[in-house]
Amino acid sequence: METQTENKKIVLSFVQSSGAPTIGNYFGAFKNWHDMAQENDCIFGVADLHAITVRNTPADLRRRSKEMYAWLLALGLDPEKNVIFMQSHVQEHALMAWILNCYTMFGEASRMTQFKDKSARHADNVNVGLFTYPILMAADILLYNADMVPVGDDQKQHLEIARDIAERFNGIYGDVLKVPAPYIGKKGARILSLQEPDKKMSKSDPNEKSFISLTDPDAVIAKKIKSAVTDSEACVRYGEGKDGINNLMALYACCTGLDYDAIERDFAGKGYGDFKAAVAEAVVAEISPVRSEYERIIADKAYIEQCMADGAEKARRIAARTARKVMKKIGFYQI
């Protein structure tokens, strides 16, 4: 994708290399990416540079980065039609991040709530990378002239600072950087913890029953759903004070396409055992083909590395043009 396809927008999405996605990630974002890629020129990146703000062992970082890249391919994202690459394979990200650091005000960066949250969680490693993380994210976005960026509630601040930096830079040097807008597509479902359904589903939860990983075997998925927290009413209906059942209904709706009224009608007079069995069957039917495709791809190292190399080459061509333009405007001596 060297030039923007006529009438299509450039949409950029990055995902961290933080282990196998959960079913919450899948329904919250990933499942919609395939549709997004049909309607737009899409750039997908595995954000392995962002991953080192917390300590990793080298082997784990390599493994998780490769696995996340394989998941992007397993989701059905076509590497021929999209740019799918590893962030660290394009050195312009680090270069652009340094440049944008010099056009970001300290007060702006210090107001980022994620820095405060991560600092509290990793009090023994409050490094400068945690602080400048949003500026690297701005570099990710602005290098590719993205028209739109899908953002969740926890990333809105980061898109806002990217827009602010781009507008400040353009105010000094002219119309150089494209100011991105948020991508408003089909809203992904918010799937919560199976054990604490008032909290987000998270793969870092110490209670493995609380989340479903896309790598979980069918039997494990079924067991986790059947042990999910519910309530004592034994009535399948969506309502206040029924967080557990609400969560399972959301999961079932994602898999079947049924709305809550239809689900309530189908399970009228039936207990939670019947409903959980149906949810488990629907989730297995949805996830099993994706997991099988992932297992096929992850076993083919040569294919993954060829896709990585091709994706990095396409991404580098776009990023290098932007970086050269930025450096020329600033006044760096170029040869």
Q: Which of 31, 66, 118, 242 is catalytic?
A: 118
In the chain, residues under CATH classification 3.40.50.620 are 10-188+301-330
Task: State the distance between the two ends of the chain, measured CA to CA, in whole angstroms.
Answer: 26
223 is catalytic: no
Q: Which of 8, 66, 156, 200 is catalytic?
A: 200
CA angle 94, 135, 53 (to 5 degrees): 70
User: What was the pLDDT predicted at 6?
Assistant: 60
**Pair type for strands 41-47 and 181-182:** unpaired
Q: Are 73 and 222 in contact (CB under 8 A)?
A: no
**What CATH code would you report for 10-188+301-330?**
3.40.50.620
Q: Tokens representing 34?
A: 């395939």
Q: Which of 9, 178, 203, 209 is catalytic?
A: 203
d(C-alpha 202, C-alpha 211), whole Å? 6
242 is catalytic: no
What residue ranges in the chain does DSSP mark as E strands? Answer: 10-16, 41-47, 83-86, 148-149, 181-182
208-295 homologous superfamily: Tyrosyl-Transfer RNA Synthetase (1.10.240.10)
224 is catalytic: no
In the chain, residues under CATH classification 1.10.240.10 are 208-295
- pLDDT < 70 stretches in the chain: 1-6, 115-116, 119, 122, 153-154, 185-188
